[in-house]
Structure 1
Amino acid sequence: MPITERKYTAAAVQAAPVWFDLQATVDKAVALIQEAAANGARLIAFPETWVPGYPSYIYGSAEWDHAESKEVHRLLMENSLTVPGPELDRIRKAAAEANAMIVIGINEREDRYSRGTLYNSMVYISDTGELLGVHRKLIPTHAERMIWGSGDGSGLHVFDTNLGRVGGLICWEHWMPLTRYAMHAQGEQVHIATWPEVPELHHLASRSYAFEARSFVICVGSYLTLDQIPEEFPRREAMLAGGDFGGEPGVLLPGGSGIIGPDGDWVSGPVANSEVIVYGEIDLDRVNEEQLAFDAAGHYNRTDIFQLTVDDRPQFPALWLSEQHGSAGSVDPVRESGSSS
C-alpha cells in the first residue's frame, strides 16, 4: 500500500480499563478512539493487555492450586477477547468511523484449538476497519507464564499502511535483540511499544529502540489505581504485590506514556500519574534523515558475517492429514494475515 500521509498526529491512550469487564472496556475503548480522532489522531495506540486489564496480581498469586487464583483466572478468560469476535468487531467499526488506525493490547482467548489458553496480544486494525493482523507476545515475562501461552513468529510482521510501515512489540520483547532486528529488517517506520506501565527503565528501552530502528516509537502504558479495582475482586490485595512502579499512593500503574522520534528524543511526553491521551506529530521524512548515520539492517550491517533466519509460519497444536479433518492451518486466516511484511 502506498504511503499517502507522511505527516500526521498519533495518540498514546494512557487510561484505565474498566477492570475485568469486557463489554464496558470495549465501550471505553470506542469512546477514547472517538475522542482521539476528534483531536486529529490518525494512529491510536492502547497499552499492553488493556482489554480487560493487565493482571499484575500474578506476582502475588503464585499458588497454582489457590482457589481465589483459579476464580480470577476464570474471570479473566470470560472477559478476554477472541479474534475474530463480536467485541473486536465493535473496535473495528469504531476505527472505520473514526478514520484512524488502531493498535490495541488485549488478553486474547484461544477458542478454536486449545480452548483454555490465553495470549498477551496486540491487534492491528486499519483506518477502514480491516483486521491487519495479531502479534502474540513471544515469551511471557516471569510470573506471566502462569496465565499466557507463548506466541509464534507468525505475528512478527510490519504492516504496509497509508500511514507508513507500522509494527510493534510487547513489553520485554524490547530486550530481545533478534526480535528487534527482525522488525528492523522489515523497514519499520512507526513502532508501537506497549507496556503495562512505563517507568524509567521502560523509557530507556523505548528510546533505545527508536534510535536503533530509526523509527518513531509510540510508547504507551496504562494508568490504574487501586480504587479502580472493585472491592469484590478476589485478588485485589495481591495487586499491591506487583511492585512499586513509582506512582503516587494508591496508583498501581502510573502510565508514563509518550512519543519518541527516530533520533531517540521525545516528541511529546512522557506523562505519568493521570489518565490522558498523549498526542504527537509523526513526520516520516525524519526517518529517512536519521538513516544517514545508521541503518541497523542496511548500511550499518554486515550480512556477510551475520544472518538471521525467522520462521514466521503459524504453529498449531495439531495438523490433521486426512481429507475429513483438513489442515488446522487452512482454517485460521487470522494467524496467516500478516502477509504485508
Structure 2
Amino acid sequence: MSQCIKVACVQAAPVFMDLEGTVNKTIQLIEEASQNGAQLIAFPETWIPGYPWFLWLDTPMANMPKTYQYHQNSLELNSESAQRIQEAAKKHHIFVVLGFSERDHGSLYISQWTINDLGETVSIRRKLKATHVERTLFGEGDGHSIRVDETRLGNIGALCCWEHLQPLARYAMYSQHEQIHIAAWPSFSLYQPQMASIGPDVNIAASRLYAAEGQCFVIAPCAIVSQDMQDILCHSEEQKKLLALGGGHARIFGPDGRDLVTPLAEDEEGILYADLDLSHITIAKTAADPVGHYARPDVFQLIFNKNAVKKVITKQDHEQEQIDKLSTETHAEG
C-alpha cells in the first residue's frame, strides 16, 4: 500500500443545471489535477448538476419548473456522460470521488461515486437522509451506503454535508478503519449570517472534528455560488440576500485536525493539493482510537445494519435465500 498520496480538493462552481457542461468541467478538473501529480480528486456535494438551492428559496409548487429541469440534468449511471468521466479517470490515472445528483428512473439521490485510476467503479453511495427541504426532491440511502472501501491508496470513505453531524453515522464509518475521508459540501452562503448552523464556522468545524475524532485525513471539497447561479436562482433582492455569492470553504485536514493547505478565498475557484502520509494516522491513534483502545464497548455499543435493502423480493430471491440458509445450516452441522 502506498504510504504517501497526493490529493486534490475542488472548490469551484458547476455549470449550473447543465449536465454536459458540468461533465466537461469535471473532466477538465480531473486532467488539471492529474497534471499536477494528484492521485485522487474529490468533488463537492451534488457537483453535477449543482446543488438545488431553489429548494430553500421558494415553495415546492413554484419550484416545479426548476425541479423538472434539475431532474433532466441529473446524472444516470451507465449513461454516456458517466462513461466519459470513467474514461477520464482511466486516461489520467487518477481516483475520482464525485458528488452528483443520481437519477434512477423517477427518483433522485444525493450520491457519491468512487472511481479508481483504471476507470472502474469502486463504489456508489447515497446520502443516508436528505436534510430538511432536500427531502422534497431526493430519496435516501440505506446502511450499505455507510461504507469504507479498501483501495491501493488506502481505506477511502465519503459522506455528504450534514451526515457529518450524525454521531452514529460517524462512528459506523470510523469502525471500518477509514484512512482517507471525503467530506463533500455544497457551499456555505445560504441564510448567512442569520443561520450559523449551515454557515462556514460550524461546518468547517464538523470536517475538522471528523479528522481529529476519527484520526483520518479529511478532504472537504466545497462548491461556490457564482454570479451566473445567483442570476438563475434569485429573482428578487430578498432572494439574493438569502443566497449570497461565494461560500466556498474547501479544506484538507490531517488526522490531528490541522489544516494541511492554505484555503482559497471563498469566491475563488481552484484546486487545493496536499500530500498525505498515512503513517501519521498511527501516531494520531496512539492518543485516542475511538473504535479501539479508547472505546468502552461495555458501556456503549452501536447496532449497525450495513446491508442493502431490496424494495422488491421476487419468488426466485426468496427461494435462493432458503437454499443458501439450508446450505449454511448443513455446513455448520457437518
Query: Under a length normalisation based on structure 2, what TM-score does the superposition of the two structures give?
Result: 0.87
Which of these residues, 49, 59, 65, is aligned with residue 61 of structure 2? Answer: 65
Which of these residues, 23, 26, 29, is aligned with residue 29 of structure 1? Answer: 26
In the TM superposition, residue 127 of structure 1 has moved relative to its aligned partner by: 1.2
Instruction: Output the amino acid matched with 2:140.
Output: S
Q: How far apart, CA to CA, are the structure 2 residues paired with 1:302 and 1:195? A: 32
* Equivalent runs, 1:124-135 vs 2, <5 Å: 124-135=114-125
Cα distance change of structure 1 residues 107 and 243 upon mapping to structure 2, 3 Å threshold: farther
Per-residue CA deviation, residues 177-203 of structure 1 (Å, 9 max, x unaligned), is 110000000000010000012512111
Instruction: Output the amino acid matched with 1:221.
Output: C
8 Å Cα contact 1:99/1:127 also seen in 2: yes
Greater shift in the superposed pair: 235-244 or 28-37: 235-244
Look up the match of 2:175.
Answer: 185
8 Å Cα contact 2:234/2:240 also seen in 1: no
In the TM superposition, residue 307 of structure 1 has moved relative to its aligned partner by: 1.9
8 Å Cα contact 1:57/1:242 also seen in 2: no
Q: How far apart, CA to CA, are the structure 2 residues paired with 1:41 and 1:194? A: 18
* Equivalent runs, 1:1-341 vs 2, <5 Å: 3=1, 5-62=2-59, 64-66=60-62, 69-111=63-105, 116-198=106-188, 199-228=200-229, 233=232, 235-237=233-235, 241=239, 251=245, 253-271=246-264, 272-321=266-315
Q: How far apart, CA to CA, are the structure 2 residues paired with 1:244 and 1:7? A: 42
In the TM superposition, residue 167 of structure 1 has moved relative to its aligned partner by: 0.3
Per-residue CA deviation, residues 199-256 of structure 1 (Å, 9 max, x unaligned), is 1211100000000000000011002213345x5x4x44389748657xxxx61x4211
Instruction: Output the amino acid matched with 2:182.
Output: I
Of all paired residues, the percent bearing the same amino acid is: 39
Q: How far apart, CA to CA, are the structure 2 residues paired with 1:268 and 1:181? A: 26
- For the pair shown, the structure with the greater C-alpha radius of gyration is 2
Q: How far apart, CA to CA, are the structure 2 residues paired with 1:242 and 1:178? A: 36
Cα distance change of structure 1 residues 202 and 93 upon mapping to structure 2, 3 Å threshold: same
- 3-state SS, counterpart of residue 119 of structure 2: coil
Cα distance change of structure 1 residues 267 and 138 upon mapping to structure 2, 3 Å threshold: same
Instruction: Output the amino acid matched with 1:109.
Output: R
Aligned length: 308
How big is the alpha-carbon RMSD for the aligned residues of Structure 1 and Structure 2? 2.1
Look up the match of 2:196.
Answer: none
In the TM superposition, residue 298 of structure 1 has moved relative to its aligned partner by: 0.5
Q: How far apart, CA to CA, are the structure 2 residues paired with 1:142 and 1:126? A: 32
Which structure has greater strand proportion? 1
Tell me: higher relative CO, structure 1 or 2? Use CA pairs within 8 A at least 6 residues apart: 1
- What residue ranges of structure 1 are gaps of 5+ in the alignment? 328-341
In the TM superposition, residue 57 of structure 1 has moved relative to its aligned partner by: 1.2
In the TM superposition, residue 161 of structure 1 has moved relative to its aligned partner by: 0.9
Query: 4+ runs of 1 displaced by more than 6 Å?
Result: none
Q: How far apart, CA to CA, are the structure 2 residues paired with 1:212 and 1:102? A: 25
8 Å Cα contact 1:96/1:129 also seen in 2: yes
Which structure has greater helix proportion? 2
8 Å Cα contact 2:187/2:225 also seen in 1: no
Instruction: Output the amino acid matched with 1:303.
Output: P
Cα distance change of structure 1 residues 243 and 134 upon mapping to structure 2, 3 Å threshold: farther
Instruction: Output the amino acid matched with 1:40.
Output: G
Q: How far apart, CA to CA, are the structure 2 residues paired with 1:239 and 1:42? A: 43
Cα distance change of structure 1 residues 97 and 145 upon mapping to structure 2, 3 Å threshold: same
- 3-state SS, counterpart of residue 227 of structure 1: helix
Q: How far apart, CA to CA, are the structure 1 residues paired with 2:255 and 2:82? A: 31
Query: Under a length normalisation based on structure 1, what TM-score does the superposition of the two structures give?
Result: 0.85
